Structure 1
Amino acid sequence: MHNEPLAYRMRPRNIDEVAGQQEIIGEKTALYRMIKNGHVPSMLLYGEPGIGKTSLAYAIAGTSNLPFIALNATVSGKKDVEQVVAESRITGKVLLFLDEIHRFNKLQQDTLLPHVESGAIVLIGATTENPYHDVNPAIRSRCGEIRQLTRLEPEDLLGVLQRAVKDEERGLGKMTIAITDEQLMRIAEGVNGDARKALTVLESVISASDETDGTTIVEDWLIDNLLGRIGLFGDKKGSHFYNLLSALQKSVRGSDVNAGIYYLAHLLEIGDLVAVSRRLLVMAYEDIGLASPEVGPHVLAATEAAVRLGMPEARIPLANAVIEMCLASKSNSAYQAFDAAAKAIHEGKTGDIPLHLRDAHYAGAVDLGHVGYQYPHDTPIGSFGGWVDQQYLPDKISGTEFYKPVIAGEEKKLAAIYERLKEFRKK
């Protein structure tokens, strides 16, 4: 009887047993050839839980035959690193796998630097967070490879599960198990690309199945029941959460209703309702803007309702908001105009406020020359309201245009008025 979990036992022993990740460690990659030829570069492996960061590190260790030490930064500290350094002085080059490397503070990471640089330690750091945000630049610069791993495809996971069922040494091969490839594929498709979860579900299914005449018989309902307990990956403070927010905004900006609803559902299953509502409100003004000005108030009402309702009812007004934004006419002209004006200010393109626009509500304003302002409301112009042709920008930037209309939705009307007023000024 094995004491270790099946997922632990079935870790690949060398890089030829790694499932998926062919673009990183496949036979035709430079990294595969380097390791096969005996050279292991220091590297950072980035990706979500269960997609093979730890397994890849163990596989590289198994192929390289270097002395291998594994640490987890959540429970290890400077003393543990010093012990690894001491080990390298005795055995020569050491391969150090440091899981959750982003948990090390700057001092702890700096302890590694001279030894990674000298080659005494080959570092494989693994992190679920973006290494460009959470790993010190000094460590990053000493890692020849920074690779983002991706979720495994169901076909890759099916191969992992089939090996686990047949493997007599590490897997379940000594048992007689009645399980079909279709049932294994159901597990593979239900764990969202997570090999660890796939093997854990398989082990749980086998443990919960009845045995008849020495054969363990797996039933579909057991698989469905256990898959229903599998949680979505997510951390509302982690990179994946912000990646989901980004994907939601870009899907809405691209008018893809189905993608927008999908990412909203994923976020609400794992995330922070307030953060999601805030992002939706930003999107209403950033991406929809003047083309559909009614959308902003609609989304504000929807997000306020969602926060007041809480989950699960909050999904209803937010789904309405996402679909409306996806299908609304879109414009980013307003905030682009603001950014252009701010850029001009930072570049020193400023000037004195025209005298006739300065505050004149005090004694002595006339003596300072704060006169000449014409009140637009006194001069109606058609159905537009009041308008007077007078200068508002400082002399140095007079005539500069920051606003560039987008000819979409309701903004077409605003653009027409804008162009008409420019014609009046020319006259």
Structure 2
Amino acid sequence: MNTPHQAPLAERCRPRHLSDLIGQEHLVGEKGIIRKAIESGSVPSMIFWGPPGVGKTTIANIIANSIKVPFYNLSAISAGVKELREVIDKARMQSGCILFIDEIHRFNKTQQDALLAAVEKGIIRLIGATTENPSFEVNSALLSRCQVYTLKALTEQHLMQLLQQAMEKDAMFKSKKVHLQETKALFNIAGGDARKLLNLFELVVESLPGDEVSLSDAQVMEIAQQRVAIYDKSGEQHYDIISAFIKSLRGSDPNAAVYYLARMIEGGEDVKFIARRMLILASEDIGNANPTALVIATNTFQAVQFIGYPEAEIVLSQCATYLASSPKSNASYMAIKIAKGIVRETGDLPVPMHLRNAPTKLMKNEGYGKGYQYAHDYEANFVHQEYLPDAIKNTKLYEPGANARENELRTRLKALWKDKYGY
């Protein structure tokens, strides 16, 4: 059945076959695991994790169309246990179905548990879609019965292909000649989101008079600023607002941070999503400049789960203003990034013999653990010995930040290690 012209462009252009899908080549390309599953007819329960507008719903529809089984679509925002049980009952009578659940991370434990037995028994094949890390938001029992596939943001090349496809195949665009004079603004606003791109494209083209139009970045920005919604928790400006919130916290502006927090609260954003982002920031952007920040962010994450809205907004505001006002350091974040780079470059370097575990007599005879000096046996609980592999000894990975607390750490490390690490 053809999609009606009145539907948004993103829906009218939704691919019906893998051959029409743009992006996600690692999953649906010639050697992609999802393509192989469809071709074999053996499609497991799975969860698609990725940013909005990259094809999660589309791939689910293509799977259902390809293997010819009943297909049901629920949104975790509006569906409850009752709707789930109705689908499961239908699936029993139809010898199975595919159930697609959008925003599955918004299901609570009771709703996820209602799915579990049906998935275990093969009554339904679940396809869940989430913009959140499923390891945090999907319970472990359900997660263990699903394959998790990560979908990637679309590149500018993909976005250009989408625009060209729309102009070539959509009825409205066939009747109106469009020249893409500039595309930077379209791509910047879309941010790798196909749905956002196509709907904005349609909005801009419809706003310009005449049967032949040329799109410039200035026109796109003017129309977008007039017409694009302030906040849409389903994805349209979800990432823009949380990005502004995090950058305001990082930039030590509690006023801007609370403003963007209010935008999210008014938009009905998930309290756990907000709290988890602050928990990450407390370590990534504050770290040892103020270790208490991590304690407060952890307690905030726990507290908002207990109390929910509206009272949770007070806790979120307290945490946000504290984090924004705190001294900042990304030293710990940079240290692990540098360390991972060295590991990738040098591979599995041998652990120094004196640091190796020696649980057996044979290993002790081989020299495992020989010469290790137990720090607590020495003055100030410190002894000067080598801990890094020989190939990278004396390599400094942690550079304390320029703040009061980490300056104290730098002074201590310099006193302990002298000139070894250059503190």
Q: Smaller-chain TM-score range?
A: 0.5 to 0.7
Question: Residues 15 and 59 of structure 1 are in contact (CA less than 8 Å); yes or no, is this contact kept in structure 2?
Answer: yes
In the alignment, is residue 160 of structure 1 matched against residue 139 of structure 2?
Answer: no
CA distance in 2, matches of 1:283, 1:227: 41
Q: Share of identical aligned residues, percent?
A: 29
| Contact residue 232 and residue 270 of structure 1 kept, 8 A | no
Supply the distance in 2 between the matched residues of 1:155 and 1:175 (Cα, whole angstroms).
25
1:116 to 116, 119, 124: 119
Equivalent residue runs for 1:17-32 within 5 Å: 17-32=20-35
C-alpha spacing 1:55/1:419, structure 2 compared with 1 (3 Å)? closer
Q: CA deviation at 1:227?
A: 4.5
Could you say what secondary structure the match of 1:179 adopts?
strand
Q: Is the radius of gyration larger for structure 1 or structure 2?
A: 1
> For residue 144 of structure 2, what is the aligned residue in structure 1?
141
Q: For the Cα contact (< 8 Å) 2:183–2:216, is it kept in 1?
A: no
Alpha-carbon spacing, 1:217–1:142, altered in 2? closer, same or farther (3 Å): same
Shift in alpha-carbon separation, 1:413–1:100, aligned structure 2, 3 A:
closer
Cα 1:164–1:107 shift into 2, 3 Å? same
Q: Does 1:225 align with 2:222?
A: yes
Distance, in Å, in 2 between the alignment partners of 1:221 and 1:331 is 42
Q: Secondary structure at the match of 2:53?
A: coil
**Match for 1:284 among 280, 289, 306?**
289
Task: Report if aligned partners of 1:234, 1:240 keep a CA contact under 8 Å in 2.
Answer: no
Q: Does the residue aligned with 1:12 lie in a helix, a strand or coil?
A: coil
C-alpha separation between the residues in 2 aligned to 1:206 and 1:404?
71
- What residue in structure 1 maps to residue 179 of structure 2? 179
Q: Structure 1: give runs of 5+ residues left out of the alignment.
A: 249-259, 287-306, 333-395, 421-427
**Residue by residue, what CA displacement relative to the aligned partner does 1:367-409 show, whole Å, maximum 9, x if unpaired?**
xxxxxxxxxxxxxxxxxxxxxxxxxxxxx95427656897968
Query: Residue in 1 aligned with 2:15?
Result: 12
In 2, are the aligned partners of 1:42 and 1:123 still within 8 Å (CA)? yes
Cα contact 1:25–1:32 (8 A) shared by 2? yes
AA aligned to 1:162 is: Q
CA distance in 2, matches of 1:223, 1:85: 45
TM-score for the superposition, normalised by structure 2: 0.59
Say which of 67, 70, 74 aligns to 1:67. Answer: 70
Cα offset, 1:183, TM superposition: 3.2
Q: Distance in 2 between matches of 1:173 and 1:408?
A: 56
Which sections of structure 2, spanning at least 5 residues, go unmatched? 263-273, 292-316, 337-374, 385-395, 401-406, 419-423
Counting only pairs closer than 5 Å after superposition, residues 64-103 of structure 1 correspond to structure 2 as 64-103=67-106
After superposition, the Cα gap between the structure-2 partners of 1:223 and 1:110, relative to the gap in structure 1 and judged at 3 Å, is same
Alpha-carbon deviations, 1:241-261, whole Å to 9, x = none?
9x979x99xxxxxxxxxxx98
State the alpha-carbon separation in 2 of the partners of residues 17 and 404 from structure 1: 64
Whether the 8 Å CA contact 1:73–1:99 is kept in 2: the answer is: yes
Q: Give the conservation status (yes or no) of the 8 Å contact 2:186–2:217.
A: no
Residues 210 and 217, structure 1, Cα contact 8 Å, conserved in 2? no
Please name the residue that 1:209 is paired with. Answer: 208
CA distance in 1, matches of 2:257, 2:22: 28
In 1, distance between residues paired with 2:120 and 2:165? 39
Superposed displacement of residue 203, structure 1:
0.8
Q: Return the TM-score normalized by structure 1.
A: 0.58
SS at match of 1:92: coil
CA contact (8 A) 2:46 2:127 kept: yes
Matches within 5 A, 1:227-266: 227-228=224-225
Alignment partner, residue 153 of structure 2: 151
CA contact (8 A) 2:376 2:382 kept: no
Q: CA deviation at 1:68?
A: 1.0
In the alignment, what sits opposite 1:198? 197
Q: Structure 1 138/413 Cα, relative in aligned 2: closer, same or farther at 3 Å?
A: closer
Aligned to 1:36: 39
> Which SS does the other structure have where 2:118 is aligned?
helix
RMSD (CA atoms) = 4.5
Moved more, 113-122 or 271-280: 271-280
Tell me if the contact between 1:206 and 1:216 (Cα under 8 Å) persists in the aligned partners. yes
Residue type of the partner of 1:194?
Answer: D
- Call closer, same or farther: CA 1:215–1:89 in 2, change over 3 Å: same
Q: Distance in 2 between matches of 1:419 and 1:113?
A: 54
